[in-house]
Structure 1
Amino acid sequence: MSFLYKADPARGEQWARLFAQKAPDIPFRLWPDVGDAASVRYLAAWQPPENPHAALPNLEVVFSVGAGIDQFDLSGVPAHVPVVRMIEPGIVEGMVEYVTQAVLTIHRDLFDYAAQQSACVWRELPVRPAATRRIGVLGLGVLGTAVLERLRLFGFACAGWSRSPHTLDGIECYAGADTLDAFLARTDILICLLPLTPATRGLLNKATFDALPAGASLINVGRGPHLNQDDLLDALAGGRLRNAILDVTDPEPLPAAHPLWTHPRVRITPHIASATRPDTAVDVVLDNIRRYRAGLPMIGQIDRRQGY
């Protein structure tokens, strides 16, 4: 009954050492060294092998090594095999750090100060109190909730939107498509932390930008296909949006000539907002294996009907 890792090989070596220390009873294999394919019960992957049921006939659980599963072709994973996305402290901590610095970059006018520095201009801009800046997070899963809880400590007026109702202390919560425009209308800095599904693909578009207050800003740390990049450029050109910080694009990377690379009001990072940390990820996976063996629900198990 072995465990197979199919993702970044360097990280896989770290997983192997941690499995040897923490679960020596579970043989660990690093793709493509599958060993006896019939013995593989658990797979951790960024993308499973093609036709995983044929390649791994006795597979019981598939773990994503990332927080999302949109990169999976779920049609190739048998319906009886649970798929579990990664929810671990390293991913959460990294995302909270990244979004906090992105919000503060916008809030404290660092785009403007960068432009002034390049022009050798020394000029103070008015400091706006955090309580007057309205933050809105699309997506109230583990990551969205953690981000809002941290930003609330700065005194920002925080709100979140999700498909289903949530209740969070000190945070205004909106739920359902009929509340989206009201949520956007009260949001000065919009943060996307939605899962990528057919319903959310392209959601960051002209209609969404038009519903925001003029001069709002965007932070996309979800997935590149959430964003209509042409609509973003138009919104920036027309003043509907003032700034954008993008950790994800479509495609990744963008073509060298793409105008977003050199736009003065856009910052791009190469999908590094957060990453699975091997030490904490292995603990989470081993705990889920114990839960699975005991017949308990696994943390992060997806609902295939919803796509997350």
Structure 2
Amino acid sequence: MTPNVLFAAHPSRWTIYETPLRSAFAELGLSPHLAPDIPPAEVDYIIYTPNAPLQDFSPFTRAKAVLNLWAGVETIVNNPTLTLPLARMVDPGMTQSMTEWVAGHVMRYHLGMDQHIHNPDHLWVPHTPPLASERQVTILGLGALGSAVAEVLLSLGFAVTGWSRREKHVPGVIAHHGSGGLATALAQAEILVLLLPDTPATENTLNTETLARLPKGAFVINPGRGPLIDDEALLDALDRGHVAGATLDVFRTEPLPQAHPFWAHPKVTVTPHVAAETRPTTAARVIAENVRRGEAGEPFLHLVDRRSGY
């Protein structure tokens, strides 16, 4: 039987994803009925984004899975009508863009590039940075994205420490876990990268207490989730000089309000949530593979653990 695949992501995405999805299905020898307007009782798979109009999943009585186009699922994971298996997006294209963005900003801080890019007084102050092997980078979050970022930074020669809530093993990374491990990981972080999911357990991971554990002069890079940081605590650490600079790509409210202090702070770089975006061509292949697996009775990829929230 030909499966019915409902495209229930935000309507603006249909014209962007239709062709890549059909191509990805064809690559796997599949020809499902793919459309944005299939009656709920006839739907086998739901392609989804949390900002879509669909919020009540109870009419989809025969559906086998909800396949998210985003990595983040925090706004739908607790939807009481969503009892179907939920797969988050682990997109190779998105992973590559994240590693490029993080590597670029790590190198920027490592090399001290800002003092040369912004030098209105034309000061000639020679400074030779340490080698990458002499610079400690710490990554909070060793999931798919964190592990990929660690691999790239290791290839550049950086000494990489990681932390995760549960024990993880990433080749070449000194990995810590649990509450005790967080303190140890932070104490070594000359450059700190946040790649944790947004859950109640990770909110305000960086707060007054944890920021104080960073070495004086550390840099903070957050392409993960806005709620990971207590904004006021970070601003205070920046103003006191304990944190030397921060590059932030994600925020509690987006777009970042014009009046927010981050915009005007001389030690903060704001980027407009551009570190990682789902790429239609590569993401479509992930979706198609999960439909193939569902039809073959195989386990779905990247299923969300409802208890942990990701």
TM range (shorter): over 0.9
Q: Distance in 1 between matches of 2:272 and 2:8?
A: 22
Deviation, 1:73, is: 4.9
Q: Distance in 2 between matches of 1:35 and 1:305?
A: 31
Deviation, 1:36, is: 2.1
Deviation, 1:8, is: 4.7
Give the superposed CA RMSD: 1.7
Farther-moved stretch of structure 1 (203-212 vs 118-127): 118-127
CA contact (8 A) 2:165 2:177 kept: yes
2:230 to 228, 231, 244: 228
Q: Distance in 1 between matches of 2:69 and 2:131?
A: 39
Q: Distance in 2 between matches of 1:197 and 1:297?
A: 25
Corresponding residue number in structure 2 for 1:92:
95
Counterpart check, 1:102 vs 2:105? yes
Q: Helix, strand or coil: the match of 2:47?
A: strand
Q: Distance in 1 between matches of 2:267 and 2:41?
A: 53
Deviation, 1:63, is: 1.4
Counterpart check, 1:50 vs 2:55? yes
> Within 5 A, what are the aligned runs for 1:1-308?
1-23=3-25, 25-30=31-36, 34-47=37-50, 49-54=54-59, 56-79=60-83, 81-116=84-119, 118-308=120-310
Deviation, 1:10, is: 5.0
Deviation, 1:294, is: 2.5
- Matched length: 302
Q: Distance in 1 between matches of 2:173 and 2:67?
A: 32
CA deviation string 1:41-69 (max 9, x = no partner): 21122215121213x34332111111121
In structure 2, stretches of 5+ residues that fail to align are: none
Farther-moved stretch of structure 1 (9-18 vs 275-284): 9-18
Q: Distance in 2 between matches of 1:228 and 1:262?
A: 18
Q: Helix, strand or coil: the match of 2:117?
A: helix
CA deviation string 1:84-143 (max 9, x = no partner): 000121111010000000101111112222332x33334322322111110000111110
CA contact (8 A) 1:19 1:26 kept: no
TM-score (ref. length: structure 2): 0.92
* Higher RCO (CA 8 Å, separation ≥ 6 residues): 2
Q: Helix, strand or coil: the match of 1:96?
A: helix
Deviation, 1:11, is: 3.8
1:20 partner amino acid = R
CA contact (8 A) 1:46 1:71 kept: no
In structure 1, stretches of 5+ residues that fail to align are: none
